[in-house]
Structure 1
């Protein structure tokens, strides 16, 4: 059966294989028709006036977002992962990729060939930036308009399933970014013929969804279930959930979470990007609505401490950045939160594993004026020390593509759009660049790469990953994490900061049987730091271990476990 929700349209025709058939005008704004079709047949919906639009729930397009949709195949993909039961969330070490730039070919198939090296590194979760069909041949994917259709340039739906199948065979979970707060401005035909789908409010990127309507809620709830069940995905990361505004008694985030939990099972995870720092999404008397949140507070504080940049998003962390870094490691959020849901207070603090930490991701790198990676800004020695902090902290670590071997090629913002929209994007790029480090001395907006230039996209592609010395260091750190840190995470409590010094990381996380202690010295001089006596799990540039202190050389680091009976 073909169906379309279009309350504003009096008449709709199904355009199938070049012929138009009048659809039945059902109740509640639905139009439907039972018709015979074969897999691969092109179809669309013809509006009054003759315009033909694609199916907003299309599983695949004949061309781009303006083309006809294709009837999906009846054959089931021959899954090989029948024995896959997922992994515990505590085991997650995430690797974020953009399919178009992860390999030279920029396809699901090519990405599959690189999974073995990620598994050898110790990565346990692949996180894929959005793949829902968007306008043009290249882009980040956050302007998708057909939420059920994988982007044709990346491959077929079966190609994506094969990628997931290969990942599972190697022990990797697969998490997909989804965008439920807005549609992209190009190819959003839905807004022209079903304005009821959207509300008058706007997000920073486009019209907001009207989640008061059950049809709108169902579109996204079913989409989440579709990705997790149809593609055997292990989790979803919801983009900018603070822009999913809903003043009803049962928030769309609650409905989506509960619906997913019912069908997806215990080893399927929901992650948010939530700039509002809404603790109620992560903390409830029973199971949380979401398993973890991308914690920008850690990144921003770390970036200020590492680079000295204080513009835009980094400004709130410009004073006492080392205090903020330690607080983020100990507690999670640094800045006060803004509730999104009506929840009772007070709420218990979420555990460390409710926060995903990173030294950079697609946003923090690609929104910079010139797309520089952190290693290019601070050098490999300092970068290596931050990696130890990231990978041996109890929060869930995320690496951005190329972090594993110290990629120094930039990662830019790129699009494939019209000339007029490209000019508007250029103005927005200046604002984003100001928020993410500003312009280097002697550089201005005129020097920024053109986001619409295909060369900007091609310059963002990874080089060939090499198992260099940094790769081996990271492999050893991840192995240590899996061996010594992961077994502690189910019982690990919120941390404390035992003392504060600029240039020093000092955090203790309590356990029933002891304390996990981290000390790091980013200063150029030797640093003496108090610590409980205990057993070092990992040390680097450790000059001396005394009964109640450690002496760390520059770039020194120690992670230790102290039994509870050990005196201060």
Structure 2
């Protein structure tokens, strides 16, 4: 027997339509606006749709299976039909972890969950602990970043559907890897979104970069919030995921006394208690507000961690010299030192890019560093560039190695973007597969116009709708086996092993982090207990003071030497090189 239920508060009638079966009416009951029906004739694998007031068939908003995409019928999916092998899995906490962000469609040539399984041993050998999947909620077409999802409970069928996602999660857990899923609550895609036909899921009282805002505080918002919370819990419970990354939470318009994010974090914590394993949420937030990751009992929203774009901007601008757009306030060693010790540059300070003061200070005496993610690259910072060029196309190997060392010995939770670990030469470009020709053309023209305003020729901007753009963005798995990529991969493995081996490198106390630097000489040194991560940006060798203690080099990109003289110990680095050293008692 299958239980059908749907929220359609404005409908006078709701029917279920299924091939080869008579139309049956659902009955109102329970909470206002809800309709229900138990059907003995509908089983796992059967297709169905809802009809409101005799209208056209619509997919179930809570469908876990959309075999022909968001515009087609839903298919009954019984989660109990899948056989899990991860019964011994008890989760993996985020503190102390290393995250690897990947996109299923371009991680492999096949672009499927099952193909990704065949590359998991690479991630285990690399030493990462958490795999973060870009969104897999069903969207129209085959290819896309996933941020145009419209079926927030269903795994994208071209990737392998719900069973494929479960196989991937099961395989990750078998290898000791936790799995995080990127979910999008701030908007739905521009095509295939049928939620407005069911109820007031959106409101025109606020507007976002994607149009009308999700209705989190108006009439009917109780059910809208429940829909989003229940969707999040379904990914964690039914697909055995370990955490969720919440996209652009600063675009969630919400003026209720209990914010949606607080409600969500509480629900996730309670589910973790029920399941007996740590579950967590990670926010992408442009607010620079520590209250996002402050525990609820201390007056915060209770999200467990958040991305730290200021650290990325400080590192990227310093290494590349780029100062356009939001990089305008960054680029000096002092700004990088500030983000390493105080999390954000903009913590109430003036933002030239925004034309106003921005952010709030982090109490580094109380807030643990693992609540903030540090990264050299991510899908946005690569894919939103005109040609999707990675930082490996901009920097020499020694500076790439230095950037990796700062990320992986930082006081934050490190995150890598797929292929970064070997300096992938393949770009990661913006691509779509909109089935509506008018929408596809609008996206294509909009992308070209955006970058033409910054001086790019239209012919140089990849066509988002072209299959060639997707193909160009796929990783080349022959690269990590050959020079020069193999050397960088070895370096990443070494750094992650150091982080895992030495507790001082995962010490969460931000107040214990120090940075010394010489802007004119071009060197910077990160202090973590007895460990020193040193980076020389100059074209000449640099000699860095290490104090009076003796020291040893644990890892270096180019040969580095320790000298002890009457004036103390020094570390000498080759031009544009890096090393990790340890003071000896």
TM-score normalised by L of structure 1: 0.90
Contact kept, 8 Å, 1:391 with 1:478, in 2: the verdict is yes
How far apart in 1 are the matches of 2:519 and 2:361? 37
1:102–1:337 distance in 2 versus 1, CA, 3 Å: farther
2:284 maps to 1:269 = no
Match of 2:535 among 520, 529, 534: 520
How far apart in 1 are the matches of 2:497 and 2:452? 38
Deviates further, 500-509 or 290-299:
500-509
1:91 shift after superposition: 3.0
Match of 1:507 among 526, 529, 534: 526
**Aligned twin of 1:180:** 185
1:226–1:52 distance in 2 versus 1, CA, 3 Å: same
Match of 1:352 among 342, 361, 369: 369
2:226 maps to 1:221 = no
1:31 shift after superposition: 2.1
How far apart in 2 are the matches of 1:518 and 1:220? 43
**Aligned twin of 1:321:** 332
1:347 shift after superposition: 8.8
1:433–1:280 distance in 2 versus 1, CA, 3 Å: farther
Match of 1:456 among 452, 457, 469: 469
**Aligned twin of 2:106:** 101
**Aligned twin of 1:397:** 414
1:202 shift after superposition: 2.2
Output one character per residue of 1:344-368: Cα deviation in whole Å (capped at 9) or x when no partner: 9979652221111111111111111
Give 1:104-143 correspondences, 5 Å limit: 104-143=109-148
1:269 shift after superposition: 2.0
**Aligned twin of 1:362:** 379
1:89 shift after superposition: 2.3
1:372 shift after superposition: 0.7
Match of 1:35 among 36, 39, 45: 39
1:383 shift after superposition: 1.2
Give 1:487-502 correspondences, 5 Å limit: 488-490=506-508, 493=511, 495-501=513-519
Match of 2:303 among 290, 297, 300: 290
**Aligned twin of 2:200:** 195
Give 1:7-26 correspondences, 5 Å limit: 7-18=9-20, 19-26=22-29
Matched position secondary structure for 1:2: strand
How far apart in 2 are the matches of 1:432 and 1:494? 43
1:161–1:193 distance in 2 versus 1, CA, 3 Å: closer
1:48 shift after superposition: 2.8
Output one character per residue of 1:25-72: Cα deviation in whole Å (capped at 9) or x when no partner: 345222222222111111111123521110111110131111000011
How far apart in 2 are the matches of 1:277 and 1:294? 10
**Aligned twin of 1:553:** 574
1:488–1:297 distance in 2 versus 1, CA, 3 Å: closer
Give 1:24-173 correspondences, 5 Å limit: 24-26=27-29, 28-36=32-40, 37-73=42-78, 75-173=80-178
Matched position secondary structure for 1:356: strand
1:182–1:537 distance in 2 versus 1, CA, 3 Å: farther
How far apart in 2 are the matches of 1:337 and 1:110? 46
Number of aligned residues: 549
How far apart in 2 are the matches of 1:394 and 1:335? 18
Contact kept, 8 Å, 2:290 with 2:362, in 1: the verdict is no
**Aligned twin of 1:532:** 547
Output one character per residue of 1:278-297: Cα deviation in whole Å (capped at 9) or x when no partner: 21122346697122211111
**Aligned twin of 2:352:** none
1:214 shift after superposition: 1.0
1:446 shift after superposition: 3.3
Contact kept, 8 Å, 1:311 with 1:434, in 2: the verdict is no
Contact kept, 8 Å, 2:542 with 2:574, in 1: the verdict is yes
TM-score normalised by L of structure 2: 0.87
How far apart in 1 are the matches of 2:44 and 2:452? 49
Structure 2 unaligned blocks of 5 or more: 350-359
1:11 shift after superposition: 2.0
Let me know the Cα RMSD of the aligned residues.
2.6
1:262–1:199 distance in 2 versus 1, CA, 3 Å: farther
Contact kept, 8 Å, 2:89 with 2:173, in 1: the verdict is yes
How far apart in 1 are the matches of 2:46 and 2:438? 34
1:246–1:197 distance in 2 versus 1, CA, 3 Å: same
1:55–1:542 distance in 2 versus 1, CA, 3 Å: same
How far apart in 1 are the matches of 2:475 and 2:450? 23
Output one character per residue of 1:293-313: Cα deviation in whole Å (capped at 9) or x when no partner: 111111112121122222222
1:91–1:488 distance in 2 versus 1, CA, 3 Å: closer
Contact kept, 8 Å, 1:91 with 1:486, in 2: the verdict is no
How far apart in 1 are the matches of 2:449 and 2:229? 33
How far apart in 1 are the matches of 2:378 and 2:367? 23
How far apart in 2 are the matches of 1:57 and 1:77? 19
Deviates further, 463-472 or 92-101:
463-472
Match of 1:243 among 248, 251, 264: 251
Matched position secondary structure for 1:257: helix
